[in-house]
Structure 1
Amino acid sequence: MTVPLFCLGGKPAPEAIVDDLKTLARLPERARARFWDALGPALPDPLPASVEATLDTFARAFEAPPDDLARALKASRFLVREACARGLERGRFEEDVVRLAGGALSPEAAVIAPILLSRYDAVRASLGAAAYRDTLTDHGVVLESIEWRLDAVLASSRGDAGAAKIAVLTLGYRDGDQKDRITLHLSPEKLEELRRACERMSS
């Protein structure tokens, strides 16, 4: 069966995805009701090492046949990730799922669509934010935190500073998988220059 999907940019769904998705409707009712407990942890890419143990526990707890559970998760993960990557709005995603499950009058569609749609909006927002962060780190160092305080320099080995004010900024940043911090001392003039620059960039 050839099913063009919005989440695939109009391309047809792989045959295996159509068959695997329908196994979701065959899972025990309790497993279907808690399906996102299994799907949510499986959405990151790459798959976390802990996922296999989590799915084994889920299958035992809800008496879900492991093969059916694995197939339903594989298809659901593929569809949700592809839809979220394209920022697909809820209605379009629902159309995709219903078509894959056999159409609006299909008993499988009546079971599968509500399950996948129940958390789609929240997951789309979460995956979108993660993709945004990853896109930034792909291209260099990313600022993650800003801490500040105001100090006054009373004196130093260079002489009496007359209680000159100074801003202290500590910037936390990520470079790939590494996190670090840097502390900067700004004179009032540089602090004002930074303020003007921020205003111009945010306008």
Structure 2
Amino acid sequence: MLILGWIFLIAGICCWVNVIYCLVQLFRAKLVLEMPLVQKSKNFSVTHKGGYSIWQEGPLFKLAPMAFIHPKIVNLDSQEEVKLTSSLGRPHKNSFTRGSNLMFYCELEVGNYNLTIVEGSSLNQLEKQISQKVIDHLPINKVLDQQYNLQIKQSLSKKQRLIMLICIFAGLFLFMKGLFTLLQLSLGIRMEGAI
């Protein structure tokens, strides 16, 4: 039982190390393209197949244009539109005056692409309702679009994001099982959740 407790504890810690590694990759990703919102369209090339993310970067505590714009990526070689997957939880990365908001994920092949900004919201229905309530009750000013940029960065692939999500819950489960088992064996007290 003691060995099994240590195995569970170490396996849980290993899962969390994987999650931390994935988060570092997500937030310290290589910048592929930066485009001011006023530019509306820009071509770029992808040299490595994989996962990419679209970030909106701009001043903090202002009404972000993502409520009014939607990015569109077209593969110039095949003339196909790239499917964008909305970010779950919309992670943020902030400095003292500016912040970045993860909007979308996409999978890109090696090739040439065009990023275009089109009218329409990048928010889902729940986010629209919440943002409208915030706008109605707080004096948040909208700033000029030239203060905002769209960034495309190398990111996690769909498979890596799924593994990270599984590792969060598996790591918690394994760590708690191992910890409770070790505490039960060392203290001699029956603990719920022990093996």
Q: Same fold (TM over 0.5)?
A: no
Normalised TM-score (structure 2): 0.22
More helix by share: 1
* More contact order relative to length (CA 8 Å, sep ≥ 6): 2
Normalised TM-score (structure 1): 0.22
Larger Rg: 1
